[in-house]
Amino acid sequence: MNIFDRKINFDALLKFSHITPSTQQHLKKVYASFALCMFVAAAGAYVHVVTRFIQAGLLSALGALALMICLMATPHSHETEQKRLGLLAGFAFLTGVGLGPALELCIAINPSILPTAFMGTAMIFTCFSLSALYARRRSYLFLGGILMSAMSLMFVSSLGNLFFGSIWLFQANLYMGLLVMCGFVLFDTQLIIEKAEHGDKDYICTQSSGFVPQGD
């Protein structure tokens, strides 16, 4: 039998039988709001780098923090959905403005860094998100404690490196941070699914604090 004669059912790649239809709709809203934040943040970075209409600094950071606090304080309901989306978009815009100086530095060193970083990040996010979606439910939730411990270790080592100035410790933190962020994609994706299965359909502001998975 020639294996190359077999037909590949590409529709099966988009079917997640272990995820309920309502949760799949919730995931679509989550990724749609995420895409919105990316575009708005890119617009904020463009405003800083090209037009210089808004400068990054303390005011943009405080503004982003204030919008985040307002978003967290606004209750989730159908009536407040548009308001919360606006707060989220404002937070993303000011965050993009805050990234302006870093983008300017990358452009000054090598402009090809930006598209390379974007493509690499998009590929990593897509691959690890699909891995979490196709995996068995809750199979990656155990990573939560490990990832938070790794974040604490990175924070302490970064503070210590302010005094040591070790390039090796800097490189270790850099690559460890990449691994931790990949792990968070797996963990957060399955956490969003699990929370949605238990009735939390807040796609604008998903929080993981205080959530304890329950039995089926």
Instruction: Name the phi and psi angles at 26, rounded to 5.
Output: -65, -40
pLDDT at 12: 53
pLDDT at 48: 85
pLDDT at 17: 59
Segment-wise mean pLDDT, segments of 10 residues, the chain, 216 residues = 52 64 89 91 88 73 90 86 90 90 89 91 91 87 92 92 88 92 93 88 63 40
From the number of C-beta atoms within 10 Å of its C-beta (0-12, 13-18, 19+), residue 64 rates as: buried
Give the helix ranges, DSSP H, for 47-166: 58-73, 81-98, 100-109, 113-134, 143-164
Residue 163, token pair as written in the block = 């005094």
Global pTM reads 0.79
3-state secondary structure of 75: coil
Give the Cβ contact number of residue 97 at 10 Å.
Answer: 27
pLDDT at 209: 39
pLDDT at 66: 92
Cα 68 to its chain centre, rounded Å, is: 15
CB 46 within 8 A of CB 98: no
pLDDT at 15: 61
